Structure 1
Amino acid sequence: MEENITYATVVIKDGKQPPRAKTEESTVYASVKAKLAATTSTGSGAGAGCSWFRVLMSCSVLLFLILLGSIGLLIHFRLLIGHQQTQISHLEAQVEQLRGLTEQLNWTLNVIMSYEKFPVKMFCQGHRCQPCKDDWIEFHNKCYLFYEEEPPWKTWGESRRYCQEKDADLVAIDSLREQEFISSHTKSYYDTSHGYWMGLQQNSEKQWVWLDGRKDTLGFWAQEDLGTFGQYGLMIPARNATDSWDPAKADMENKLICESVALLKTDDE
């Protein structure tokens, strides 16, 4: 911007300054100073306004960049956390699987340790093993052998020795579910008073106890008189599961049921 400056010519005569000229000079210089001051003031205000605008714009851009960066970091961390949670879920599944395998191995080891001589070939063929030996039936982690041979059948003592020779014992029933399973795998023979020996007997206090020492709490005794009396438990087939037990003498000859623990645990107890 060009500044308009008015210059005055002053003529001095006899060493004295004319009063009029002096007045004009004062007026002119005052006018020049006022214009310069006004121009300087206007230029300074415009410059300050521009500076503040630039600062405001810079701060806005900086805040925008910070916000954009924060959003990016948040998205990155959420993706990272999601990936880690997925990995944790996979690891938890693997740990659970390993826990199941460990439990299975411990179960199998305990079964093997219960044998004096473990019959590997009866359970395993090649690299594959089965829960029970051939001709045995698996049910809820136990194996059952239903003796169905023709007479002569066996007394209670002979039946128990027969099972023990097979690394088992006469069956001890734990629940209605097991009783129903056994009932479904037995059939009538000879007459209605013959059945299958169980590992159930009376103790000296006339209490019915299983061979594993448990007192019987099921009491699935037949309500009618089947013609036999004694201190050993006999299960009569082809009857209601909860109405099929009968006491019999030890020397009576019957079929029998052996029970052992399955080599492989197949379900939860």
Structure 2
Amino acid sequence: MNRHYIFIDVDGTLVSYENELPESAVTAIKLAQKNGHKVYTVTGRSKAEMYEEILSIGFDGYIGGNGSYIESDGEVISERSLSYEDCRRIVDWLHDKGLEFYLESNDGLYGSEHFAERAQKTIQVYTARKGNKEADKITVKEAFPDMIFGENLYREKVNKISFVLNDFSDYLEAREVFSDFRVGTWGGAGETALFGDVALDNIDKQTALDLLMTHLKESNKHTIAFGDAKVDIPMLEYCKTGVAMGNGGPDIKEIADYITDDVENDGLYNAFKHFGLI
């Protein structure tokens, strides 16, 4: 059996939109590793959001910040982040605009002064869109249990800065002001987006996988990627085999080589079986 490199998105792929981790997914990963395969998470989450329930699975590596940070077998392969000056510039603009935000870094999530209050309804809308029937009860503290408040918001080694959109025009203005960065949205498509974010340009999940495999002196011949959203498409396009989750969006399903079941319905386990990884 050839050793495969398996790359798994986290939200909507490894864990459900309610942040529940299926036991079948853990079983599949551990069995695949026992069979000699290497398994990596590839996520927009910074390491501070990779909670113990996920880390304790024992992955062979981690790619975070949608490609800005790469770790393999405990070794940091690449780390690209906003500089102190970048962070200060973005934070000052957000303050001037009256937009609440949080900094995403590997050592913590740092919330702006009124993020917890301002983001409450936005987080509930976001969670409801992901299928949580009790979304109206979710608090920012529950959504981001380890978020830190009251700390200096001018920092180094920030992977990304996410901010609550008061209006879609906030994103359009940010894209114009920070044209030298990658400015995106999440929580919805187009004018239904709930958040904007700012990060370094020319980094995505595909560039990260290419860098990792080059470091490992491996080709993409025996690679397989799992995802559920548009941000995962570059990863699926890079890998030899791309798998979309049943709960994934139409765009990623259109380009996938295979569509498995929903994350809650043993989607990872069933796909691992289908491809003979376990």
Q: Which has the higher helix share?
A: 1
Q: TM-score range by the shorter chain?
A: under 0.3
Give the alignment's TM-score, normalised by structure 1. 0.19
Give the alignment's TM-score, normalised by structure 2. 0.19
Q: Which has the higher strand share?
A: 2
